[in-house]
Amino acid sequence: MLTYLNGLYLLDPFFQACREGYPSGLYRLEEVAPDHFRQSEYFLSYFHDNVLEDEVQLILQLPEAGTLSLSLGSQRVFSHDEIGLLTTFSAWVLPLMEQHWQHSQARPQAPRPRKWPARSATP
């Protein structure tokens, strides 16, 4: 995971899709991955061992705040029926993701611990 966070994420097709401003929705790997993805450095050095065989992502564009995504990996290629079900669920999950984001941003920050002045031992 550290390798991913140290820069390999730049090769992630879903990261690139988010950067390119794909609209909010459900995306399959085959929709965002470049040609010959399975021969790429990213696939060989990370994806195959960590994500496994297939991936879909729910991408939510957050105006002026970036992108929030939910990734689902699978040990096999998602079937057409599974994609259909995920597409149906995305109509509920994307608004819930947005609601979660809004609530997390509106939540007041916890107060910092107050530093009390040192008390003198002598009166």
Contact indicator for 33, 22 with CB cutoff of 8 Å: no
Among 57, 56, 42, CA closest to 12: 42
In-domain check, residue 115: no
Q: Write down the pTM of the prediction.
A: 0.78
Residue 16 DSSP code: H
Report pLDDT for 121: 56
pLDDT band of 122, cuts 50, 70, 90: low
What is d(CA 112, CA 92) in angstroms, rounded to the nearest whole number? 36
pLDDT the model gives residue 111: 66
Instruction: Give every strand in the sheet of 66-74, ordered side by side.
Output: 25-28, 54-62, 66-74
Supply the range of the domain harboring residue 78.
2-106
113 belongs to a structural domain: no
pLDDT tens string 53-95: 899 999 999 988 899 999 999 999 999 999 999 999 999 999 9
Count of domains forming the chain: 1
Token digits of residue 29: 């790997």
